[in-house]
Amino acid sequence: MFSDRYEITERIGIGGMAEVYKAQDQALRRVVAVKVMLPQYAADKEFTERFRLEAAAAAQLSSPYIVNIYDWGQDSGTYYIVMEYVRGIDLKSAIQQRGAINQRKVAEIGSQVCQALSVAHGQDIVHRDIKPQNIMVQPDGNVKVMDFGIARAKNSVKARTSNVLGTAHYISPEQAQGKELTGTSDIYSLGCVLYEAATGHLPFDGEEAVNVALKQVQEPPVPPSQVNPNIDADLEGIILKAMEKNPFNRFQTAQEMKRALDDYLRGRAVNLGAGAATTTIMGNNAQTQVMGANDYGYNNFAGGTEVMTPIEGTSKTAVRDFRVDDSAQKKNRSRRIAVGITTAVLLAVIAAIAAWALFFNQDDGLAKVPELSDLTQAQAEAAIEKAGFELGDVEEVYDADTVAGHVCGQDPEAGTEAEKGTKINITLSLGVEKGQIPNLKGLSADEAQDAIEKAGFVAKFGGNENSDDVEQDKVCRQDPEPGTEADAGTTITYWISSGVESVSVPDVRGYPERDAIATLEGAGFVVESQAGDYSEAYDEGTVMSQSPNGGKLEKGETVTIYISQGVDPSTLSKDVPDVSGMSESAAISALNNYGFQNVSSEYRNSTEVPEGNVIGQNVYSATADSQIVIYVSIGPAASTPDDGGNNGNNGNNGDNGGNNGGNGDNGGNSETPNTDDQNTNPNENLSTDPNL
């Protein structure tokens, strides 16, 4: 794990100064490629600076044909670059597996690489290491140029050092000599790549890299058509112009080379400009060595004739020096005349030999198998019969490089000799393979990547998003939809669930119950409503409390609300009905019905209210839990009978007692007769109390 973010999963390549790994970006949840500097170079400041410059240079470039650079850093002394993970195969591996590639495909690859170089050169960046290993062919057939590991801005100091960087089989002559480079150096390297792709062979090879580099400087390439006779003359002309030894005779810009390739692909006339200068080969005694910029170089140009002379002050055999003088021109003119005569004689001999062979072998029954690539079945059959052969088996395979219904393979191969009448088997293209988009919902990111790749498609991580029905870290959405049919190599984008969205819980206290439910459900919650308590703060029928109150919840969770019953009626005063005159039971029942449950009775004498009926009550306004007392009549009080006048007075009710009655302090009813001599007349001492 680098920087607590990039988790290494497997190694996918190794180069001269770094290894490349497949990794998972934990922050953005996508597959990336991580280029890690080899440990032996980590302490080398020049290499670490080159590593940093690679990231800086490539990060400036934006093109569909250039691998994107995402990040750069170092962790515990290990330097790394994070870049786009490109699925597919590098062009070198493709050539090794298939040999020569279909020439139209070669031109398409060249056009796309030119587009990438045009972007880089437009920012004064020279790649310096264009080779098939650095060109990735994706499943959809498009390419991406990668590895700007030795890229340098043209005006940088390091661009003018004498260090020779790059791969010997593809470096330009000026790069082999350590000269200052321009975009035409990349064009030369691309010419070497296209040469190899079109022929299946390197333009220059040798046992050691230094020998190959010297050939880049000294020797012209063998024309591609002599290696692969099926190459079109226009494509061959483009390749050879790109590989001119003199930078000024090449395409001057990548865009110019792209136009030539596009013209070839569209069947238009290819304009290669003025004739290229002839490359002069150094003598056989040239030293085998890659030269630095301070050793020698192109001194000047004159007359277009190249004469190899040592540069003054050096002991090494010089590469090309374009200085000429009159005597050199005369010698070269004589040499060209002699070469022309010799060539004419050789051509005449070759023609005679060919005519002789044709005459004496015309009936040997052998014929060359025709080139059938890109022909329809009918066209191929006509060509086979015209050449004296018969159509054999016809098979069909998916081939993204060939239009459906056209020939993408044949047996025997084109250009081989076979007896006339031999059956020629052909393979027709079904075009781009179709496949059904897999259902990724509920899969992890790794599972989704594997499912997409196994189905023949290209995976792309779209990002994270909330989902109500898919758990976190699983695929919740994809494009295109599952079950649809698409071409192999189609990009399928998938999104990973961040789980259910968490939202703030609205505060609905004080809302009427219906409004509170609508508000909470609108926010995505399930609502449970329960009866609350009495409340003086919240009106009856409104929300008095909720759980939870505030904070965040995932959508779909439950919020409980409690509905106020209003003010507690037991705390409110209200009128107490007048139950006077009612029977005791009727009065108690009436008061209970009015909400007064705490009713008690007191009994009193009354001459006006019949016994058992209510005389009155203690209150006429009270709270529901107040005690209500009703006074119930027990009828008039009973009187005391006369016993011979001795009693004098049987006073009752002390307030109105007679003068001589037995009257206590309170004038109450005395049961003891008063024997005072002065109060012996009972008629004079009767109490005036009306109840007596």
Question: How do residues 599-641 score in pLDDT, each as one tens digit?
Answer: 999 999 999 999 999 999 999 988 888 899 999 999 998 875 5
Average pLDDT over residues 368-372: 90
Joined together, the tokens standing for residue 540 give: 């009856």
pLDDT band at 578 (very low <50, low <70, confident <90, very high): very high
Average pLDDT over residues 565-583: 86
> Please, what is the angle between helix 183-199 and helix 233-242, to 10°?
140
- Comparing 184 with 456, the larger pLDDT belongs to 184
The pLDDT of residue 123: 84
Q: Mean pLDDT score of the chain, rounded to an integer?
A: 78
Catalytic residues: 129
- Comparing 498 with 448, the larger pLDDT belongs to 448
3-state SS assignment for residue 44: coil
Q: Which domains does the chain have, with CATH numbers?
A: 6-84 (3.30.200.20), 89-324 (1.10.510.10), 366-429 (3.30.10.20), 434-497 (3.30.10.20), 502-563 (3.30.10.20), 569-633 (3.30.10.20)
Range name among 75-89, 362-376, 503-517 with the lowest pLDDT average? 362-376
Q: Which residue type, as a one-letter code, is found at position 657?
A: G
- Comparing 165 with 397, the larger pLDDT belongs to 397
Pure H helices in 16-150 = 45-59, 91-98, 103-122
Range name among 49-58, 219-228, 367-376, 397-406 with the lowest pLDDT average? 49-58
Percent of the chain, pLDDT > 70?
A: 76
Average pLDDT over residues 509-534: 93
Question: How far apart are alpha carbons 82 and 568 in whole angstroms?
Answer: 71
35 annotated binding-site participant: yes
CA proximity to 278, closest of 356, 335, 351 = 335
Cβ neighbour number for residue 348 with a 10 Å cutoff: 10
Cβ contacts of residue 452 below 8 Å, gap of 6+? 438, 440, 458, 459, 492, 494
The pLDDT of residue 410: 92
pLDDT, tens only, 56-112: 777 778 888 999 888 888 888 888 999 999 988 899 999 998 899 999 999 999 999
The pLDDT of residue 642: 52
Q: Which long-range contacts (CB under 8 A, 24 or more apart) does 574-579 make?
A: 574/621, 574/622, 574/623, 574/624, 575/620, 575/621, 576/617, 576/619, 576/620, 576/621, 576/622, 576/628, 578/617, 578/620, 579/614, 579/617, 579/630
CA proximity to 412, closest of 401, 423, 398 = 423
Give me the count of residues in the chain: 692
CA proximity to 113, closest of 84, 142, 90 = 142
Q: Which residue type, as a one-letter code, is found at position 616?
A: G
Question: How far apart are alpha carbons 686 and 31 in whole angstroms?
Answer: 123
Q: What is the pTM of this model?
A: 0.43
Pure H helices in 373-526 = 377-386, 445-454, 513-522
Cβ contacts of residue 411 below 8 Å, gap of 6+? 392, 424, 425, 426
Average pLDDT over residues 313-329: 36
The pLDDT of residue 490: 85
Sign for the CA dihedral angle at 413, 418, 424, 425 comes to: negative
The pLDDT of residue 640: 58
The pLDDT of residue 250: 96
Q: Which residue type, as a one-letter code, is found at position 637?
A: A
pLDDT band at 225 (very low <50, low <70, confident <90, very high): very high
Q: Is pLDDT above 50 for 153? A: no
Most confident of 32-41, 283-292, 503-512: 503-512
Q: Is pLDDT above 80 for 584? A: yes
